[in-house]
Amino acid sequence: MTLTGKKGLVLGVANKRSLAWAIAKRASEAGADLALTFQGERLEENVRDLAGTLERESLILPCDVAADDQIDALFAKIGETMGRLDFVVHGAAFASKEALSAPFSQTSREAFRMALDISAYSLVALARGAQPLMTGGGSLLTLTYLGAERVLPNYNVMGVAKAALEANVRYLAADVGQKNVRVNAVSAGPIKTLAAAGISGFSTILNIYKERAPLRRNVETAEVAEAAAFLLSDAGKGVTGEVLLGDAGFHVTGM
């Protein structure tokens, strides 16, 4: 899978276990020039350290996806330094620990708003900012999970946010397709990431997937990165509005 000559933006890298990081690493190996973002000083050092291990030098920039002025500044800087964009990887998501652990009917208005804003609306904001830089067309990719379609324990408001995110994929695909911009998502099986650490009983979810998925195993970050690379590359240029499930086949099973 080649991304030689492509220029991309990856948001959502937190540490070496992040799916966004696995995708960034694979994209760099495939020949892409990257810009990576961090939110706050706490994560800046992690992102810079990881970026230093990439095969190609990367642009490191701050961005809080809940702040429109920071999104505007991000794309302005990318325009100045990179000139254009060929793809954007949206790996940003957040729900408060309380909203994940409490009964769903107890979700507060503010917790609901924050989860939908950061996890779903941010893709719309990024698509709007990226379009002027995608002069030759491009690809937008986000990350979702089966909890958007089915009720999973302790996923709660994040499941609702992911459902909105998947709807965003379809509506954005229809909106920007005439500009030769594609919009897709990868729905991966459960993986031990920083975000997963906030879900109570996550180890049980891993075991159930391993027992019931047709491949009788869990997926790995490298496999998610390969699926993402396909959708970002010209090999996937006929695919848009798609949610690609990479979960060892778990989604097809019943009892």
Which residues form the catalytic set?
145, 155
- Residue 231 has phi, psi (to 5 degrees) of -70, -30
Q: Kindly state the helix (H) or strand (E) to which residue 243 belongs, with its residue range.
A: strand 243-246
Q: How many CA atoms lie within 13 A of 117 on its CB side?
A: 12
Following DSSP, what letter does each residue of 89-116 receive, concatenated? Answer: EE------HHHHHS-GGG--HHHHHHHH
Residue 85 is given by DSSP the state: -
Distances (CA, A) of 248 to 89, 107, 191, 209, 235: 22, 32, 12, 8, 22
Cα 128 vs. chain centroid, distance in angstroms? 16
Torsion of CA 118, 121, 193, 225, to 10 degrees: -150
Distances (CA, A) of 218 to 71, 211, 243, 248: 35, 9, 19, 6
Scanning 82-197, the segments in alpha helix (DSSP H) are 97-101, 109-116, 122-130, 156-176
Q: How many CA atoms lie within 13 A of 31 on its CB side?
A: 9
